[in-house]
Amino acid sequence: MDDRPIGIFDSGVGGLTVLSEIAKRLPHENLIYFGDTARAPYGPKSRLTVLGYARQISRFLLRQNVKMIVVACNTATALALDFLQKELPVPVLGVIDPAIATLGHFGRQGKQRVGVIGTRSTVRSSVYLYRIRDAFPHYSVFQKACPLFVSLVEEGWAEKKVTAHIAHEYLDELVREDVELLILGCTHYPLLKNMLRQEFPGFELIDGGIETAKDVEHYLQTNHLQRLQGKGDVKIFISDLTDYFQTLEKLFFGGEIAGIAEVPWDDLARDENS
């Protein structure tokens, strides 16, 4: 039995969807989440900038004695995961490979035309494209950046007609390409699943948060790192505490979270240089 917490971080609030899935699947585990709300979004930023932020946050989580770090951000996974896995003394998992791994299941059903939607940085990096082609060279892969989805979700407009209209502007070309599997390559996008299922019934939706929670569970079991009893605690740290965050936590996590603490981003940078 390993009581140490699992560390999870994201550029802001979107990773709360991943936190929620891990909490549901692993109710005994202690969880620590860091949302870099002061510096979000990561999507438009450069690789070096995102890597610097990811290193600062990872060092903070290591000081909390975490046994594992989950990068609950597609952009940070795309741009920083490989570096963190080489540098850090604990296992580091991202949200991209678990989503890709589930494609094999659908491929055995004959579904091999894959769409990937995400932020501009995630799509520009082509990390999904390259990794899918490596794992499943016979699959056809189509990418589409959908940057407006983030703002629409945070406005609480996931079910509004304007969101469905914008979704068609983005995704009708994937329909024309006969895409069968759609990877939700941003942690905000699972909140659009109801709308996407209604407007695009031909897509099988793949939620990286759900698949990541399964991956975390498998890793802990395989390496005997589980916490096997008791109810786990959830602690939240963010780099800018606003009333807006407290509204969004209910949207992304499904309820209020006790014990939210602010760690200013300049403190993270100062700690790194001390």
- Predicted confidence at residue 255, as pLDDT, reads 67
Domain limit, last residue, from 173, 208, 243: 208
Residue 248 lies in a domain: yes
Residue 1 lies in a domain: no
Q: How would you class 59 by CB atoms within 10 Å of its CB: exposed for 0-12, middle for 13-18, buried for 19 or more?
A: middle
Same domain, 245 and 195: no
- Which residue numbers in the chain have pLDDT < 50? none
Same domain, 116 and 167: yes
Residue 249 lies in a domain: yes
Residue 199 lies in a domain: yes
Structure tokens, 193? 């699943």
Q: How many domains does the chain have?
A: 2
pLDDT per position as a tens digit, 110-129: 999 999 999 888 898 899 99
Domain limit, last residue, from 193, 208, 223: 208
Same domain, 243 and 197: no
Same domain, 118 and 168: yes
Residue 54: give the domain boundaries. Answer: 6-94+211-273
CATH number of residue 135's parent domain: 3.40.50.1860
Same domain, 103 and 122: yes
Same domain, 59 and 103: no
Residue holding tokens 């709360």? 16
- Predicted confidence at residue 256, as pLDDT, reads 66
Rounded CA separation 94/102 (Å) = 14
Q: What amino acid positions are annotated as catalytic residues?
A: 73, 186
Domain limit, last residue, from 208, 234, 265: 208
Residue 166 lies in a domain: yes
pTM here?
Answer: 0.91
pLDDT per position as a tens digit, 138-195: 999 999 999 999 999 988 899 999 999 999 999 999 999 999 999 999 999 999 999 9
Same domain, 221 and 249: yes
Residue 78 lies in a domain: yes
Same domain, 145 and 230: no
